[in-house]
Structure 1
Amino acid sequence: MPLLRGRLMLMAVLAFAIAGCQSEDQKPQPRFVSSSSSAPAVTAGAVRESGYFIEFRSRYALSYGHTYVVFGRTNSSGGMINPEVAGLAPATPSATPYVIGHFLPVPAETGASDGDLEEEYRSASWRVMLTEAEYNKTVAFIRQLKAKSKFWQASVYNCNAFVADIARSMGYKTPGIWLRPQEFVTKLRQMNAG
């Protein structure tokens, strides 16, 4: 009986991992910018006053992509000033831990990865402008989350789950973690900013 339960559990984990990989990424989505809380989204073409921001992002990759956040300050034209990146990924560029991580938890890193700030790899983004107090609270949560997030596992705690934790700490609703990153960020914005 324990052997049967183990096999069923393995099949369930594989089904979740495969389900998240069934859709295809679309062309890059427009950039969206919102004021803090629940103001309606506007396209990034609008110039924003300088201030604090968090940007929920996804990017293309050789696999199904990556979800992460970029945060910091903006200048008067909306450009980022010394942005920081937080995301969850296997702690090596090797493909082996990534593959193993679809079955078992593998060591993770929580900082920037290759391509995170390169515009040509961005597949979706939603920037939320924050007050200084909101920003400080959000950054404190991100730092705590980075300190405790030691493992990545594709179907249990992946990059979407990491970003969902950040979004929920800000009071946002979040989609399921088994979506492709581009779809996850797009749905996150749609659920919270219209």
Structure 2
Amino acid sequence: MPHMIGRLTLVAMLAFATAACESTDKKPEPRFVSSTSGAPAVSAGVVREAGYFIEFRSRYALSYGHTYVIFGRTDQAGAMIDPEVAGLAPASTSATPYVLGHFLPVPAETGASDGDLEEAYRSASWRVMLTEAEYNKTVAYIRQLKAKSRLWQASVYNCNAFVSDIARSMGYQTPSIWLRPQQFVTKLRQMNAG
């Protein structure tokens, strides 16, 4: 019986990992900016005032992509000032932990990874403008989450799950963690900002 449960668990994990790989990414989605109330915070592409933000973002990669957040302050034109990145990925540049992570939890890192700030790789994004108090609360949560997130596993706790935790801490509804990153970020925005 334990042998059968082990096989069923393996089959379920493979099904979840495969489901995330079945569709293809679209062309890059346009940038979306919202205030914390969900109302648009841009007019003709120009942010009305400088402030604090968190941006839920996905990027293309050799695999099915990556989901992460960027947070910090903006100037009056909407440009990021000293942005920070938080995401969850295997703690290695080797493909081996990434492949193993589809079957077993592997050590993870929670900072920036290659390509996160490169515009050419952005596949979708949703920027939310925050008050200073909202920003401080969100950043405190992100730092706590980064400190406790030590493992990555593709079908149980992946980059989407990490970003879901951040979004839920802000009161947002979140989509399935088994979507491709571009679909995840797009659906997150649609569920919460229309």
Tell me whether the two structures share a fold, i.e. TM-score over 0.5.
yes
Contact 2:42 2:48 in 1 (8 A): no
Residue 4 and residue 173 in structure 1: after superposition, are their counterparts in 2 closer, same or farther (change >3 A)?
same
Give SS of 1:7's match. helix
Contact 2:55 2:70 in 1 (8 A): yes
C-alpha deviation, 1:45, in angstroms = 1.7
1:4-32 CA distances to partner (integer Å, 9 max, x unpaired)?
11101100000000001101000000000
Gaps of 5+ in 2: none
1:165-194 CA distances to partner (integer Å, 9 max, x unpaired)?
000000000000000000000000000000
Which residue of 1 is the match for residue 60 of structure 2?
A: 60
1:107-155 CA distances to partner (integer Å, 9 max, x unpaired)?
0000000000000000000000000000000000000000000000000
Find the aligned partners of 1:128 and 1:56 in 2 and give their Cα distance.
8
**Equivalenced residues, count:** 194
Gaps of 5+ in 1: none
Find the aligned partners of 1:3 and 1:41 in 2 and give their Cα distance.
55
Task: Extract structure 1 runs of 4+ deviating beyond 4 A.
Answer: 40-44
Q: TM-score, normalized by length of structure 1?
A: 0.97
Which residue of 2 is the match for residue 30 of structure 1?
A: 30
Which residue of 2 is the match for residue 167 of structure 1?
A: 167
Which residue of 2 is the match for residue 178 of structure 1?
A: 178
Contact 2:41 2:48 in 1 (8 A): no
Which residue of 1 is the match for residue 136 of structure 2?
A: 136
- What amino acid is aligned across from residue 155 of structure 2 in structure 1? S
Give SS of 2:84's match. strand
CA RMSD of aligned residues (A): 1.2
Q: TM-score, normalized by length of structure 2?
A: 0.97
Identity %: 82
